[in-house]
């Protein structure tokens, strides 16, 4: 997220636990959009915006709407209104200069998450056979044994890419990543010059359903908060549950909306 982050960053991506809908699915993909990866030029340089749009105009037309830095050449393409995603994919299939093209699939987050606040119910961390009754003893991640060695560090960032995070939650707030430059900076100003204004706790990249991106990644569905709790709820504080890491810094990156829906392009933006 910030170009000042030079230490280890673990990323928990909600896409690991979501259903990615294909074109035959009723959930489908975003109409009029494609994720297209352009090849580099023979000299090894990336194609310019003009060159990309020229290549698009040679087939279906369309415009580059967004360029991702994480994968060289990967762009979000907006198609003309009279061109369907299916027709555009056929046109791009054997086009020189394009590595691949695919729909901007919509995704639906899973919500089969327990909300019990008691640690003795967290059998995945420490299983004594308590849940369900007669469960398999020691079918867990041996968390207490790990905590004998280490309970985490504040300088390790856990980026939770999901429906956001309730950064005011009593069992999470002490483990929330804070961008001090923005916290102590001027409102509505990009104080750290990283391209994001007022990104104090992370950022909201969700555009699904016409939503606008903004600086507030507050969770309005609760799934991301549950994921954050598993990863890094404060441990040994007599409050709720404990995360795998008792001490960490959780960065809230939101791409799912209040209906737990989003798209792949926004998830890539989070990364």
Domains of the chain: 9-18+110-270 (3.40.50.200), 23-107 (3.30.70.80)
Q: Model-level pTM?
A: 0.77
**Tokens (6 digits) for 217:** 């990644």
pLDDT band at 161 (very low <50, low <70, confident <90, very high): very high
Of 19-28, 32-41, 184-193, 247-256, the one with minimum mean pLDDT is 19-28
What's the alpha-carbon Rg for the chain, to the nearest Å? 21
Run of H or E residues at 37: strand 29-38
pLDDT for the residue numbered 238? 84
Exposure b/e, 171-184, CB count within 10 A at least 16 = b = bbeebbbebebbee
205 class by beta-carbon count within 10 Å (0-12 exposed, 13-18 middle, 19+ buried): buried
Predicted confidence (pLDDT) per residue in 203-225, tens digit: 999 999 999 999 999 999 999 99
Is the pLDDT confidence value at 117 over 80? no
pLDDT for the residue numbered 110? 58
**Tokens (6 digits) for 234:** 């404060």
Predicted confidence (pLDDT) per residue in 232-257, tens digit: 999 888 888 899 999 999 999 999 99
Cis-peptide, bond into residue 132, ω within 30° of zero:
yes
């Amino acid at each position: 997220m910030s170009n000042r982050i030079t230490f280890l960053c673990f990323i928990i991506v909600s896409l690991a636990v979501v259903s990615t809908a294909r074109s035959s699915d009723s959930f489908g993909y975003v109409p009029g959009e494609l994720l297209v990866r352009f090849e580099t030029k023979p000299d090894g340089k990336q194609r310019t915006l003009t060159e990309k749009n020229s290549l698009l105009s040679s087939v279906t037309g369309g415009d580059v709407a967004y360029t991702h830095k994480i994968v060289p050449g990967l762009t979000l393409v907006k198609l003309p209104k009279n061109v369907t995603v299916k027709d555009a994919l056929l046109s791009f299939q054997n086009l020189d200069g394009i590595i691949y093209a695919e729909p901007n699939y919509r995704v639906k987050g899973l919500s089969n998450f327990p909300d019990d606040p008691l640690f003795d119910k967290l059998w995945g961390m420490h299983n004594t056979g308590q849940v369900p009754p007669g469960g398999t003893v020691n079918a867990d991640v041996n968390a207490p044994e790990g905590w004998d060695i280490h309970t985490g560090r504040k300088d390790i960032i856990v980026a939770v890419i999901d429906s956001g995070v309730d950064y005011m939650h009593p069992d999470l707030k002490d483990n929330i990543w804070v961008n001090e430059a923005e916290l102590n900076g001027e409102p509505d100003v990009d104080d750290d010059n990283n391209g994001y204004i007022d990104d104090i706790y992370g950022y909201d990249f969700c555009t699904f359903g016409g939503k606008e991106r903004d600086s507030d990644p507050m969770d309005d569905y609760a799934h991301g908060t549950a994921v954050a709790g598993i990863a890094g709820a404060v441990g040994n504080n007599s409050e709720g549950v404990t995360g795998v890491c008792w001490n960490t810094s959780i960065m809230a990156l939101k791409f799912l909306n209040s209906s737990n829906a989003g798209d792949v392009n926004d998830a890539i933006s989070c990364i």
